[in-house]
């Protein structure tokens, strides 16, 4: 028996040491999860580990389900300050998409109540999954596909570096350590979305990919637009002799249609769609029970917030919000103190609409300068379009993401942006390394300072959400 265990152990470690083996990839992904979890636990506030968060909406929703209700029996708890609860027909509801509450459900049951469950700590244990799954995505792109083409030329070491940069050098870092409802949704959604991308590439597992995208939709609805990734990958995989590379755009579409194995594509689409349609049905049933509508997108319209009037006037999504959200996404910089600097003033102040995306993560600028290689144009274009669709949807939302350290809605498509960095194949030279160090420094600062005691002097907060730039 001891000899058998020794041989099994030796076989396991031999598998991990073998280059490009599945065991090695999974082993490194597991180490990424452990390292990132330790980092996030270290960066989090102590009370996030020891107490429930003041905005534990998902735990409250899970607790309501355990009592056979959709509404909160006693209304919004006092410690939540009435923040982002939907009121309809005299009852109080949680209108956030429910998948994170599904994950919390068994643990809330074990704890006995939402208040006894440490929802922030729960999210911290989950947050390391997104970088781990993203590493597996990078490695899949590095392996040759069915046509024998490797879509990424990155080495294993470079993929590990990109994974660390995603975890610590983007706004995912400060998002992961908050634990409150808004940030919990993005930590869960990003993790599920990274796993979806892994299964959507090559369209190898249509049902699993659809299930994962359904879970992402029921966490962060704009992520549904990335269904285009699976749809076009299915076309690529099931086109006989591959996609055409010659002729005009219209001629290539016609040639692709001729080459397409249509029965296989239809079957893949059907398997992919089933779990997504089930998610729509579940959300519709919930909304019919709560808000007397079968529309699966209704809910946040009933939030009792001070800016409810703008939602009533302009809607939950609309072009009206685009310019303001673009400003928050691309133009907000730290405010410098006036000259002469007052005694005791902080060296800079951050507006809680969040710092510009390129400022917190200048690595994203490399996306606009990829190397052109045979075999990468398709995946680069498809991933870029998916990221653009999600980004545009977020830019039409009635909220810029306030309150935040950086533009947190970028978490909805950050996985795709890092896929572009991997496929883009630009050398990680001194300029890239400088940008990487800048990204980690700022985002780690955001993780340890945002909404944290002792750092208030670094943040400007104004409740009307109308002030984006430093007043004259």
pLDDT digits (tens, 9 = 90+) for 351-380: 999 999 999 999 999 999 888 776 788 899
Q: What is the pTM of this model?
A: 0.94
Mean pLDDT to the nearest integer, 309-330: 93
Closest CA to 245 of 237, 256, 234, 260: 256
With a cut of 90, say whether residue 214 has pLDDT above it: yes
Q: Is the pLDDT of residue 275 over 70?
A: yes
Confidence of residue 400 (pLDDT cuts 50, 70, 90): very high
State the Cα–Cα distance between residues 267 and 265, nearest whole angstrom: 5
Sign of the dihedral defined by the CA atoms of residues 157, 161, 163, 164, in that order? positive
Q: Dihedral of CA 362/364/369/372: which sign?
A: positive
Residue 1 has pLDDT above 70, yes or no: no
pLDDT at 305: 84
pLDDT digits (tens, 9 = 90+) for 126-137: 999 999 999 999
Q: What residues contact residue 276 under an 8 Å CB cut-off, 6+ apart?
A: 210, 213, 214, 217, 224, 227
Segment 134-161 mean pLDDT? 91
Question: In this model, does residue 413 exceed pLDDT 90?
Answer: yes
Per-residue pLDDT at 344: 74
Rounded to whole angstroms, the Cα distance separating 16 from 318 reads 50
Convert the pLDDT of each residue in 298-319 to its tens digit: 888 898 888 888 888 999 999 9
Q: 328, 354 in Cβ contact below 8 A?
A: yes
Give the pLDDT of residue 248: 87
pLDDT of residue 251: 85
Q: Which residues contact 346 (CB under 8 A, 6 or more apart)?
A: 337, 457, 458
Q: What is the pLDDT of residue 307?
A: 81
Residue 159: CA count within 13 A, CB half-sphere: 24
Confidence of residue 249 (pLDDT cuts 50, 70, 90): confident
What is the pLDDT confidence band of residue 3, given thresholds at 50, 70 and 90?
low
Would you tell me the crossing angle of helices 227-237 and 262-291 to the nearest 10 degrees?
A: 170
Task: State the CB neighbour count (10 A cutoff) for residue 457.
Answer: 12
* Lowest model confidence (mean pLDDT) among 46-55, 204-213, 290-299: 290-299
């Amino acid at each position: 028996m001891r000899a058998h265990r020794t041989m099994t152990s030796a076989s396991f470690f031999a598998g991990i040491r073998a280059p490009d083996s599945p065991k090695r990839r999974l082993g490194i992904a597991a180490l990424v999860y452990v390292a990132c979890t330790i980092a996030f636990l270290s960066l989090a506030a102590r009370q996030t580990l020891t107490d429930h968060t003041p905005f534990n909406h998902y735990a409250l929703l899970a607790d309501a389900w355990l009592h056979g209700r959709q509404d909160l029996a006693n209304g919004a708890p006092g410690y939540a300050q009435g923040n982002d609860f939907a009121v309809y027909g005299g009852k109080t509801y949680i209108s956030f998409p429910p998948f994170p509450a599904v994950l919390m459900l068994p643990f809330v049951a074990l704890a006995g109540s939402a208040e006894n469950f440490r929802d922030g700590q729960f999210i911290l244990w989950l947050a390391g999954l997104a970088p781990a799954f993203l590493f597996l995505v990078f490695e899949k792109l590095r392996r040759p596909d069915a046509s024998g083409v490797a879509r990424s030329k990155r080495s294993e070491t470079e993929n590990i570096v990109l994974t660390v940069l995603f975890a610590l050098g983007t706004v995912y870092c400060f998002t992961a350590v908050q634990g409150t409802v808004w940030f919990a949704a993005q930590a869960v959604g990003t993790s599920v979305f990274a796993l979806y991308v892994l299964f959507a590439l090559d369209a190898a597992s249509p049902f699993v990919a659809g299930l994962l995208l359904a879970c992402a939709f029921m966490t962060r609805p704009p992520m549904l637009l990335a269904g285009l990734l699976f749809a076009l990958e299915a076309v690529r995989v099931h086109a006989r002799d591959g996609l055409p590379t010659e002729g005009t755009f219209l001629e290539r579409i016609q040639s692709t249609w001729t080459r397409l194995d249509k029965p296989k594509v239809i079957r893949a689409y059907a398997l992919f769609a089933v779990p997504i349609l089930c998610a729509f049905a579940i959300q519709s049933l919930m909304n019919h029970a709560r808000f007397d509508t079968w529309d699966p997108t209704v809910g946040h319209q009933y939030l009792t917030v001070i800016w409810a009037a703008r939602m009533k006037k302009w809607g939950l999504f609309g072009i009206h919000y685009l310019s303001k959200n673009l400003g928050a996404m691309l133009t907000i910089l730290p405010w410098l103190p006036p000259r002469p600097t007052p005694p005791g003033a902080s060296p800079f102040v951050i507006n809680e609409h969040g710092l510009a995306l390129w400022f917190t993560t200048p690595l994203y600028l490399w996306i606009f300068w990829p190397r052109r290689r045979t075999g990468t144009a398709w995946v680069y274009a498809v991933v870029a379009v998916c990221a653009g669709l999600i980004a545009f949807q977020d830019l039409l939302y009635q909220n810029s993401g306030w309150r935040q350290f950086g533009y947190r809605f970028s978490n909805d498509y950050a996985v795709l942006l890092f896929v572009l960095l991997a496929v883009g194949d630009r050398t990680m030279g001194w300029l890239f390394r400088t940008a990487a160090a800048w990204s980690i420094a700022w985002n780690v600062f955001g993780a340890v300072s945002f909404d944290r005691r002792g750092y208030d002097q670094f943040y400007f907060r104004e409740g009307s959400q109308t002030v984006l730039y430093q007043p004259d």
